[in-house]
Amino acid sequence: MAIEHFHKVLALDDTHWQAAYNLGTANLAQGNTHEAIRAYHRAAQLNPQDADIHFNLGLACKRAGQLEEARHSYLCALEIVPDDAEVHYNLALIHKELGCRAEAITSLEIAVSLNPDYGAAYGNLGVLYLDQDRVAEAIACYQRLIALDHNAISARHILAALTGETTAVAPSAYIAELFDSFSGHFEERLLVDLEYRTPWELKSLLLANPAGPVHFARLLDLGCGTGLVGQIFREITACLVGVDLSAKMVEVAAAKGVYNELAVGEIVTFLEQNQEPFDLIVAADVLIYVGELDRIFATVARGLGKNGRFLFSTERMAGPGYQLRPSGRYAHSSSYIEIMAVRHGFRILCTKEANIRKEKGKWIKGELFLLGC
């Protein structure tokens, strides 16, 4: 094995920095992150003027969650190769994770100035510009990214949102990418930073309906995410099923142990392939990633059994129809939901206006619906 070979070389010559470096790289490739860090540290002590050693040490430290150490390693690399776009880019990602947005922007701006074809840098720079409401600069970043990569699906969706184009649905790749990136700290951000209460509000709306059941044989959690809805609704169902596009979100949900069944996939496809009807289908903050709702309402109607219930939230808008907002999410009017309900054989049992979540310190206005079939 390569690792054993490099250990033998170092046993014969403990000043062999290339062997220490290669030992770090071999360990990193096999997922032995802490062993890789030790080997890279040894290589850096033996040859402190090698930028690749510092760069790879930064990669290993980031993988280990040692963000300050990673930042230090990238800064050491830049002292040796100040014009390396890749080092500036990776330093920007560390700045971003540490909450140093201004420093991240500066590093990304340097990266794209050094390499005008650096698509990933434009994508991250666009996100950071949007965080600072620098919309024109964000648009320019996404336009450049699309010019470099005509298949940049997520960038096309964000650009449409920023330029006032209303599309029918957010691409599945965009949703999966978005929530995969959030999975590690999703609930903390939702519950603490955004003061998210929608699952609890939906359950209250459901149980406040005097004509409806209070327990359900089969419940489907559409867009289950990390399993917040599952935790809250588990006590009122015998069988809880969840589906989500994000594999990383489903991993987190599975670890909670509240679902009888979990699937990774597109929600309409899942419903179309489902054989056993559900008594209740819940979609908390799911329709905000779909504009045109005909197909979802049709498949939900087919997926529900007799007297089934469809419980969901929307972001509310005053005008007719639906609209793709600069956030990349869709808002729907009450009248549009009413049209969809009638078209697909639902009765609106009750509705409630609600604050969905906070965004940049302000409440997003939404609406909760309970439909019956």
Supply 23's token pair: 């030992």
Q: Which residue segments constitute the domains of the chain, with CATH numbers given?
A: 2-167 (1.25.40.10), 179-372 (3.40.50.150)
* Residue 192: per-residue pLDDT: 67
Q: Are 371 and 310 in contact (CB under 8 A)?
A: yes
- C-alpha neighbours within 13 Å on the C-beta side of residue 128: 22
Averaged pLDDT in 10-residue chunks for the chain of 373 residues = 87 92 94 96 97 98 97 98 98 96 98 98 96 96 95 92 92 84 68 81 91 90 95 97 95 96 96 94 96 97 96 95 94 98 97 90 93 94
Q: Are 139 and 122 in contact (CB under 8 A)?
A: no
Contacts of 172 (CB under 8 A, 6+ apart): 245, 266
Q: Is 67 exposed, middle or buried (0-12, 13-18, 19+ CB in 10 A)?
A: middle
* Residue 177: per-residue pLDDT: 84
d(CA 70, CA 72): 5
Single pTM value for the model? 0.84
The partner residues of 311 in beta bridges, in order of sequence, read 282, 370
| HEC secondary structure over 210-278 | CCCCCCEEEEEEECCCCCHHHHHHHHHEEEEEEEECCHHHHHHHHHCCCCCEEEECCHHHHHHHCCCCE
Supply 35's token pair: 């062993």
* Residue 183: per-residue pLDDT: 57
| HEC secondary structure over 52-107 | HHHHHHHHHHHHCCCHHHHHHHHHHHHHHCCCCHHHHHHHHHHHHHCCCHHHHHHH
